Structure 1
């Protein structure tokens, strides 16, 4: 799932995405019918760098259709874990 620049994300559905995008989120996805849906909130977006996987985003919100759970033809907003790295590192319990 590719990351989408904020301007493209917001301009795709301003009335929705302006409410949920901040400097602590990012948008990602396709507009082709493949997306996250109900039950995926809290799931992770991982990236591989060399042979190490990194958690970068957490599924936060997606557009919903009337009478349906989600709209797989729109982007998804993820919480940007990098914006919370100090919090995460200060709360890791080390052996």
Structure 2
């Protein structure tokens, strides 16, 4: 497994975690040393022309080493995966997601879209911060970041939209490169 030291974590100014229902739950990592591109470590693009109002057709892919669905109790405990797992999820927009669950609705902030779990398979605790990836031709695009799911359900999860935060991403990169 490849690892890298993080020099700096760059977060939006308004991010305050749970107190704001994980609105703006996105960050950029400045690495001490960049990863080398290999057959197993490939770049992902950001499509600066995309917004959350138009989600790509087809499923998105998420990967992680978080807790597995096996032996989960109320979404909080379980068995951490020893291998990188992947799930393919149909996507739904913010409005559809907010209508899925009244108790979870406050966490589907303006910058979220959701993925529907297949056979209870999808991101679990420990997967937060991972990318939500789609393929377009030979290129892969990060369209979201794994954010939060209802602790009492394995039906769907909410993702922070890269498209909603594209101006912040550009500005953060621009400011960081000036240092």
Residue of structure 2 in register with 1:5 after alignment: 93
Residue of structure 2 in register with 1:49 after alignment: 136
Distance 2:122 2:136 in 1: 23
Return the index of the structure with the highest Cα Rg. Answer: 2
TM-score normalised by length of structure 2: 0.44
Alignment pair present for 1:21 and 2:108: yes
TM-score normalised by length of structure 1: 0.78
| Structure 2, unaligned runs of 5 or more | 1-88
| Structure 1, unaligned runs of 5 or more | 66-70
Residue of structure 2 in register with 1:76 after alignment: 157
Residue of structure 2 in register with 1:89 after alignment: 170
Structure 1 segments (4+ residues) deviating >6 Å: none
SS for the counterpart of 1:14 is coil
Which structure features the higher share of helix residues?
A: 1
Partner residue of 1:60 out of 144, 147, 168? 147
Q: CA RMSD in A?
A: 1.7
Distance 1:60 1:13 in 2: 16
